[in-house]
Amino acid sequence: MDYQGRIIRPPSEAESILLQVTTGCSHGKCTFCGAYQGKRFSIKPPETISRDIAFASEHFRDQRRLFLCDGDALIIPQDRLLRILDEIRSALPWLTRIGSYANAKAAARKSDEELRQLHRHGLGMIYMGLESGHDPTLQRMGKHGNAAFIVEQGRRLRAAGMKLNVTVLLGLAGPERSLEHARATGQALSAMDPDQAAALTLMLIPGTPLHAQALEGRFRELTAREALLELRELLANTHLSRGLFLSDHASNRLPLRVRLPKGRDAALARIDAALEGGVRLKPEDSRRL
């Protein structure tokens, strides 16, 4: 397989075939993100992608899922992306799911019919980074669009038939606007109503603009207690019709796996117990991205 640079994929795609169809991220301006440092965005040549699909068809017959890397396969022009999906389905007919990251800007460039078409051709799972529902935080962090725009695109993806997994970041607003960020993010998640919502905890990455701001004293990461309070506020304001709320990423101090809506009260009680010292948190030196 032709892999260029470090490959990033969601935790739930750990057992998937990783097919790199783009390099880098089509936006690449988020101040907190170091995932694609040093990678210029590009769409890989069709012949390279075809060779990798052929290789996967021969060597990865036990894997039932495939994930399109890097940061945003949805930005690929429609006809070209449909050809890739059709080639995957022809060469790997045993697959049960094809997934991809998508940012709101790329989703907005597709019509509703084009999104439905992608789903009909096999794209079944979308991972989208909301990060925050708090517009001042989104603006400060360099995200494209405001919360309403991102929510709208997430709803369009779901309406097209795709499963939607949305990521948010605890600590992104710093301590000053922590609870505002948490409340607004919970409200945005509720409006998107994804199949799964995953809360990660911000960890500063050397070389990113946000890390530089922290070194200059213009940004501070949350303490463990502040992060727990933010997690509680986020979950208390997240109302999904059904689905999972997760905080089990390696960056988090308190792993949670909550089936909403019925599991919210028990999860809030566990956070309260952690705030009171009755639940042990993950050691700081064990947290990682």
Q: What is the pLDDT of residues 55-70, one digit of tens each?
A: 999 999 999 999 999 8
Is pLDDT of 38 > 80?
no
Cross-strand bridge partners of residue 65: 97
* Gyration radius (Cα) of the chain, Å: 19
Question: In the predicted model, what is the mean pLDDT of residues 161-184?
Answer: 97
119 phi and psi angles, rounded to 5 deg: -65, -45
CA 108 to CA 249: how far, in whole Å? 28
Could you give the 3-state DSSP secondary structure of residue 136?
A: helix
CA 136 to CA 181: how far, in whole Å? 9
Give the side-chain half-sphere CA count within 13 A for 241.
5
pTM for the model = 0.94
CATH of domain 11-286: 3.20.20.70
User: So what's the pLDDT on residue 5?
Assistant: 86
Q: What is the pLDDT of residues 60-117, one digit of tens each?
A: 999 999 999 988 899 999 999 999 999 999 999 999 999 999 999 999 999 999 999 9
Q: Please give the residue that has the higher pLDDT: either 28 or 150.
A: 150
* Structural domain boundaries in the chain: 11-286
